[in-house]
Amino acid sequence: MKRLVFVLVAVIAVAAITGGSIAAAGGDNGAADAPDVSGVVRVSELLADPAYGTEVAIYGQVSLLGELFCPCFELRSGNKTVMVWYDLMVDEDGEARPAVNIEGIENGDWIVVTGELQPGGATPAEFWASGIDEAVNVSVEAGDNGGDVTLAVGDLMVINLESNPTTGHIWSLAGAVEDDAIAFAGNDFIAPESAEPMVGQGGVEVWAFRALAAGEVTISMEYARPWEQGVEPVDTFGITVVVE
């Protein structure tokens, strides 16, 4: 089996979340520390139903890190963006919030950030981080079809598949992932960044899964028009995931 590790996110400061979200940082990534991702949402979901002053967990792709005149970066998922601040966060009463360590994070990484959405109408909206998930991001590509990947408990695996929803075709799971070893953490379509967007231009669908406990499960996916019944999918993808 080959371990397909393309992106490593190693961040020390992670806040514990209750009520179904991310476990606290630290530990040896053992089963007892396996995070519950049921509370993790896309940026677009948070902005569609804003929860100000309440700690939530969001996931997305990092951009503009180190390119802005502030201790912040953009986090995007669901084609929506928030500005994540990791330092110089001062409450209305003048109390400064602890800075969050971003060591190891790079532009293009997919991460999970815990924190609070801030009111005020800033564009993009401001999100003050209290922690960043230290999980390893394992990136799987279309060329890995039919293979296998080994994860450690707590790893976040993302499957990247080319897609063009303007044709009506989208990727979907060929059956629910019903296994204690992994949990579905969300999916998103990422359009290519272009100064001149083209009508009908495709992009990449990103499907995220979290490794929760030791076990083995096969993920099967189909690329098809969801309303066409009895029609063979245009493409398929499958991979066997082993969590150790």
Domains and CATH numbers, the chain: 31-132 (2.40.50.140), 137-185+205-243 (2.60.40.2020)
Task: Quick: pLDDT tens for 173-214.
Answer: 987 776 788 888 778 888 776 545 566 778 889 888 888 899
CA distances from 101 to 13, 195, 223 (A): 6, 33, 39
Helix (H, G, I), strand (E, B) or coil at 22: coil
Category of 34 on φ-ψ map: left (φ > 0), alpha (ψ -120 to 50) or beta: beta
Give the separation between CA 61 and CA 42, rounded to whole angstroms: 10
pTM metric for this prediction: 0.63
- State the pLDDT at residue 74: 95
Give the separation between CA 77 and CA 21, rounded to whole angstroms: 18
Task: Quick: pLDDT tens for 88-139.
Answer: 999 989 999 999 999 888 888 888 899 999 998 889 999 999 998 755 678 8
